[in-house]
Structure 1
């Protein structure tokens, strides 16, 4: 039966609606329509005491500010700042020096969004520092604070977009697994289907039956390159020929025993009941990125890693009118034009690098044509920001880790797909992490660089950057006494010929002609990318006389979709070998001492650290594994349902690919471990449960290998509190210094 709701908001659909259309949307169904899944329950707003308080007595001089969101006038900015030791919600004038805390709770804040009417500031926080987040709103003067979603026990919620008039906020809420079903199967996934709802692919040549990708995605294996055939995926729309007419099919993830994700429109004033927009059982991700000005259409991003989709929904019927593959990375994938006849998307559909696409829509939201509006060779579009008026956009391009920013006119009257004049500012630091355009012109950008912590700059109509008065000066962005190190880019070749990239940090006062102890640091994801931004951890290691090489092994983003897909299936064995090949490369250059090599990483990098230690036991003298997976079977059994869905698309299904996953698990080779290992984990991590570190440390000790575990209180998968971050990096540096030692 259709899902029902009451008291829809002004811009919410006016009729009951169901979940996403099955494959073949827009055409008569081939058979009986399946009953839609029950959505996650509607959020129940909870009023909170006002928390605009006097600034805490102890404020950090070396602090960061990031994630800006401007009010409609552009005169005030809400942002995240860790000046009090934890990321909190702050607000300040665009051209003043005094900022104040809007929520003084110790719960870390992760996202911020000022309403278009200026009356509310919405934000996401993580109670206790864990992974279950909630969405709150507060008035710009610090009053009226309330939880809009995620207040219920074991629930979780995150931000979507505001409606254009600011009367409603889209939020996504997660439904916990049904009672009695938690951890009842491998990774909360059904045993009779794979991660994509298809029949088992079997355990033939790993990767040969891997879930397909559209376009020029190539599965790179040792000595061979194999084209991945699209399968079990909603057909992506080709740039050259766009089908016109009915809605595009939506990938079916199949039945799942886990909970679901549901998107609602919520009235922050509480005058109307939450209205359901979209729900999906067993979903890996779901976010409402935009609604049309009249509320008839909604842009939704959904799907697991590597298989994200943009959906255009008719909010009156719940039908999907358009679907297209979009890039991983920043979840804010695009926006409608003011008249909703054009959709601007950041997408890598049928291409190696994400570009700006223009989708022409008819009055029903169905596609009429698609073209590439802006692209760059060997460079992906990282961030896309379009103001409500839709006359111009800001594009942030990823040039091998650094950012190149440009403002472009969108020329709404043109039909040839071209965009207007471009303006490219010179940035004072290497990386842009967030863009907040202002209706009157100009924007606020969060910048980060190799020599400073994050800060926020205003770029006026001419895009001339000016640091905001409440962002730390460059001189104060790091502790005094030792300047940060600017890294140098390195390229190296893996044993199968694949070219890898990375950044090398040389410890200060290191003899340039003498090999030094070196730590190979591995980022998470695995789709993250190593970028030239200031790292307090690297700063600590360099101060101990340890060099750092931070590579992008296969599976990393920033080097094209084929590179991201190169670790699928059996390709993960090659990713483990990449770590050894990176170590060999810096040794061959004379930078690193082959007898004093260490390895460390967080999340997927923590897994890769453990894997490197057991696959290459003679190479590394010590390791630090942070929030890493040690056994895929126990990881899938213990992680969140939506994490399991996404991880299955990346690593393999815990049932059908169990032999491959067992072979890839560090615990399966624990007898090969020789190097001392420190494991670090947040006590509230539900993405990768702390038991993953505990079992690895316990097994190492049982075999006589020195091993310790550091558990950080009130932290989840990310370490967000200043005292815990300081404890972590000092413990890691102590451990590595003990076994690698500074240069004699």
Structure 2
């Protein structure tokens, strides 16, 4: 495709991002006193490993901070009120790149700033009609990769022939039909009829503005497109593409933007792998032909084509969910999901292809792998889970087997090219690792979250135990004095078709074991996220009102293998709705929950499941709280972001081909079955699930005589990131549930 593709791509560079200089951010540079009990997350270290850039919400908004790992003053680098979602320090130490969400919405932009807070500039996403997010840094720090979402121009007629569902393009956004010319092609820019379709384009951008942006990949009708690594010699790029459930690692030749090889990779963390120094081996976190993700080594020829594939490390019944490369480049850091908790290892890479000088994993060698979710599905602190989402990680403690790996390549470690791998287990003070960055010589910096603490950053100097950074909040600051954090217990409900489910039950303080309680069934988003018992202020708000919380993993959740994730596809979603009722029944039959005082609540996909449960099982719950949930799939597909529609179609169904199924699955199609009061909550700038999804079902509930309210949160998108809004949300939801469960 070389000549033709190059010609196409030359014409496509007119939309390349332009640098926009900004005034230095006015505001605090000295360490302020925290205004809220804060969390710190997403660390990215400088080349020495002595200083770390990170996200912190101590002022009430997630913002960009930097400070020394071993203590001392920390500094606010950007005092603007836009929430920060990603951070990456350049390998040469000159720049810190970060993604912000203006107005708290889903249209993000990428900025760069110097470590002293000067030189702030927009790198991509300055145009309000586009959206941009971070990729990796080039190994020498000369450029940062960014992905730009470019919406299509308005068209009078559908880009793909066919009858459309009623109301397809009448609300919140333009209709986006899926598939068609050039769908799924990485590197080929759209042409002909494809020009009216949305596109994701990835560029390498020089933050100094000396060199012109270089196109790495473009995809028409894309779901995701992220540059995860550039080989040290600049010949190859590692690109992650594809919708949820069908992610792929694509090796792109930079000379002609041709595809070298393609390999399936797991959902979850977007930083999927890294090239060896000679570009002949690609280390990947992948579930290629596997039930659970493992560390694979793909051998590459000179054109980037795969010539061999081997398993370097695996763990029975556990996913590899984070992959990073510490400073010496001859080791990898692996975080395994073991029944909900993290087991952290370091692994010696085969000597034939070491990880590279200063190798530090994505992005771009400057730091380790990213948090647990990518754009569009990440949440802020105060949502269940690690910063970054309603399905954050955690467990009650070290899982059985997490300490049995020893120093000789414990169970599941195998050899890649160059011989057997050697592992070392790293003890953790809290249950879950959400990000790994390189630290000083031989060390790491990790972001941790747990059931009894706010998210924080810990240093792991060499073989020493992890140590909390002084600027992370203390464990005792997680909850108000006199109210200890509640540790949940695991439950294993069985669905009516025999499938084993999972979940965690939180018992309100002071309640005896034989006292059935009012209980809220809380459903995570995704659907592929996983309920893991990290500290969640919402749960503790409910527990403080005397309400128990049961947070289950219904089919479609992650952490239990690929088959479980795919069990809700197509008509399997009806079974997922029944899973909610079966989980509620399990809580009742085990004597924990009062069958006459049950409520259901959830966010995003969990909000959809909440609405679906209320109309499919109308006699089971007293009330429901739906947060940013889809109420009608036809209007959802019409109004959501085009790249989200592409990904959602694989999970829920195609809005044209599967319209009858999607209509049957839509809560609005059964709204006459609603019997109970409903509270809906939405962010005003949510373009993932547009606010109209909540507005229309609240309006329909009121028309049928049911109490229904809508709380619209200002300056928020799909995730609630501002402390005052999170607090308002928690209190409003708790007031509502307390009124209908205990009043």
TM-score, length-scaled by structure 2: 0.86
Q: Distance in 1 between matches of 2:6 and 2:498?
A: 55
Confirm or deny: 8 A CA contact 1:293 1:338 kept in the other structure. Answer: yes
C-alpha deviation, 1:340, in angstroms: 1.1
- Which structure 2 residues correspond to residues 273-422 of structure 1 after superposition, within 5 A? 273-387=212-326, 390-413=329-352, 416-417=416-417, 418-422=419-423
Match of 1:696 in 2: 697
Aligned counterpart in structure 1 of residue 139 of structure 2, from 164, 185, 188:
164
- Which structure 2 residues correspond to residues 694-733 of structure 1 after superposition, within 5 A? 694-733=695-734
Would you say 1:90 and 2:65 are equivalent positions? Answer: yes
C-alpha deviation, 1:154, in angstroms: 1.4
Q: Distance in 2 between matches of 1:714 and 1:401?
A: 33
Q: Distance in 1 between matches of 2:574 and 2:603?
A: 18
Q: Secondary structure at the match of 1:424?
A: strand
Distance 1:741 1:197, change over 3 A: farther
Q: Distance in 1 between matches of 2:494 and 2:19?
A: 54
Match of 1:459 in 2: 460
Distance 1:257 1:658, change over 3 A: farther
Alignment deviations for residues 152-188 of structure 1 (CA, whole Å, 9 cap, x no partner): 1211000000000000000000101213469986586
Distance 1:85 1:372, change over 3 A: same
C-alpha deviation, 1:196, in angstroms: 7.7
Distance 1:685 1:107, change over 3 A: same
Confirm or deny: 8 A CA contact 2:94 2:114 kept in the other structure. Answer: yes
Confirm or deny: 8 A CA contact 1:443 1:460 kept in the other structure. Answer: yes
Would you say 1:632 and 2:636 are equivalent positions? Answer: no
Match of 1:527 in 2: 528
C-alpha deviation, 1:508, in angstroms: 0.4
Distance 1:256 1:666, change over 3 A: farther
Distance 1:682 1:256, change over 3 A: farther
Q: Secondary structure at the match of 2:620?
A: coil
- Which structure 2 residues correspond to residues 433-512 of structure 1 after superposition, within 5 A? 433-438=434-439, 440-512=441-513
Confirm or deny: 8 A CA contact 1:389 1:439 kept in the other structure. Answer: no
Would you say 1:53 and 2:54 are equivalent positions? Answer: no
C-alpha deviation, 1:195, in angstroms: 4.5
Distance 1:3 1:602, change over 3 A: farther
Confirm or deny: 8 A CA contact 1:77 1:92 kept in the other structure. Answer: yes
Confirm or deny: 8 A CA contact 2:198 2:221 kept in the other structure. Answer: yes
Q: Distance in 2 between matches of 1:422 and 1:412?
A: 14
Q: Distance in 2 between matches of 1:613 and 1:190?
A: 30
Q: Secondary structure at the match of 1:660?
A: helix
Q: Distance in 2 between matches of 1:671 and 1:357?
A: 51
Q: Distance in 1 between matches of 2:533 and 2:158?
A: 40
C-alpha deviation, 1:476, in angstroms: 1.7
Q: Distance in 2 between matches of 1:685 and 1:517?
A: 31
Alignment deviations for residues 303-322 of structure 1 (CA, whole Å, 9 cap, x no partner): 11100110001100111001
Distance 1:181 1:290, change over 3 A: farther
Q: Secondary structure at the match of 2:492?
A: strand
Would you say 1:121 and 2:60 are equivalent positions? Answer: no
C-alpha deviation, 1:364, in angstroms: 2.5
C-alpha deviation, 1:365, in angstroms: 1.7
Q: Distance in 2 between matches of 1:182 and 1:386?
A: 49
Q: Distance in 2 between matches of 1:183 and 1:402?
A: 47
RMSD (Å) for aligned C-alpha atoms: 2.5
Distance 1:189 1:384, change over 3 A: farther
C-alpha deviation, 1:503, in angstroms: 0.6
Match of 1:660 in 2: 661
Bigger shift: residues 366-375 or 410-419: 410-419
Bigger shift: residues 41-50 or 112-121: 41-50
Q: Distance in 2 between matches of 1:309 and 1:639?
A: 23
Q: Distance in 2 between matches of 1:673 and 1:267?
A: 55
Confirm or deny: 8 A CA contact 2:104 2:717 kept in the other structure. Answer: yes
TM-score, length-scaled by structure 1: 0.86
Distance 1:573 1:625, change over 3 A: same
Confirm or deny: 8 A CA contact 2:519 2:598 kept in the other structure. Answer: yes
Q: Distance in 1 between matches of 2:291 and 2:84?
A: 33
Confirm or deny: 8 A CA contact 1:453 1:478 kept in the other structure. Answer: no
Q: Distance in 2 between matches of 1:305 and 1:679?
A: 26
- Which structure 2 residues correspond to residues 17-166 of structure 1 after superposition, within 5 A? 38=12, 41-51=15-25, 53-54=27-28, 59-166=34-141
Match of 1:580 in 2: 581
C-alpha deviation, 1:58, in angstroms: 6.0
Q: Secondary structure at the match of 2:85?
A: strand
Q: Secondary structure at the match of 1:566?
A: helix
Q: Secondary structure at the match of 1:684?
A: coil
Confirm or deny: 8 A CA contact 2:176 2:637 kept in the other structure. Answer: no
C-alpha deviation, 1:390, in angstroms: 3.0
C-alpha deviation, 1:646, in angstroms: 0.5
Q: Secondary structure at the match of 1:128?
A: helix
Confirm or deny: 8 A CA contact 1:170 1:288 kept in the other structure. Answer: yes
Confirm or deny: 8 A CA contact 1:337 1:389 kept in the other structure. Answer: no
Confirm or deny: 8 A CA contact 1:132 1:156 kept in the other structure. Answer: yes
Q: Distance in 1 between matches of 2:273 and 2:175?
A: 31
Confirm or deny: 8 A CA contact 2:720 2:726 kept in the other structure. Answer: yes
Alignment deviations for residues 330-386 of structure 1 (CA, whole Å, 9 cap, x no partner): 000000011111100000011110000001112332212100100011100010012
Distance 1:546 1:416, change over 3 A: closer
Alignment deviations for residues 253-284 of structure 1 (CA, whole Å, 9 cap, x no partner): x9585310000000000111111111011100
Confirm or deny: 8 A CA contact 1:380 1:397 kept in the other structure. Answer: yes
Q: Distance in 2 between matches of 1:146 and 1:670?
A: 49
Q: Secondary structure at the match of 1:585?
A: helix
Q: Distance in 1 between matches of 2:157 and 2:279?
A: 42
Q: Distance in 2 between matches of 1:729 and 1:97?
A: 34
Q: Distance in 1 between matches of 2:446 and 2:241?
A: 26
Distance 1:57 1:376, change over 3 A: closer
Q: Return the structure number with greater relative CO, CA threshold 8 A, min gap 6.
A: 1
Distance 1:112 1:57, change over 3 A: closer
Would you say 1:560 and 2:561 are equivalent positions? Answer: yes
Q: Distance in 1 between matches of 2:692 and 2:11?
A: 32
Q: Distance in 2 between matches of 1:513 and 1:527?
A: 34
Confirm or deny: 8 A CA contact 2:175 2:638 kept in the other structure. Answer: no
Match of 1:263 in 2: 202
Match of 2:685 in 1: 684
Confirm or deny: 8 A CA contact 1:621 1:740 kept in the other structure. Answer: yes
Alignment deviations for residues 622-642 of structure 1 (CA, whole Å, 9 cap, x no partner): 100000000000000000100
Confirm or deny: 8 A CA contact 1:282 1:645 kept in the other structure. Answer: yes
Match of 2:607 in 1: 606
C-alpha deviation, 1:510, in angstroms: 1.0
Match of 1:544 in 2: 545
Q: Distance in 2 between matches of 1:264 and 1:400?
A: 38
Alignment deviations for residues 544-588 of structure 1 (CA, whole Å, 9 cap, x no partner): 000000001000011000000000000000000000000000100
Match of 1:210 in 2: none
Match of 2:382 in 1: none
Distance 1:267 1:162, change over 3 A: same
Q: Secondary structure at the match of 1:575?
A: helix
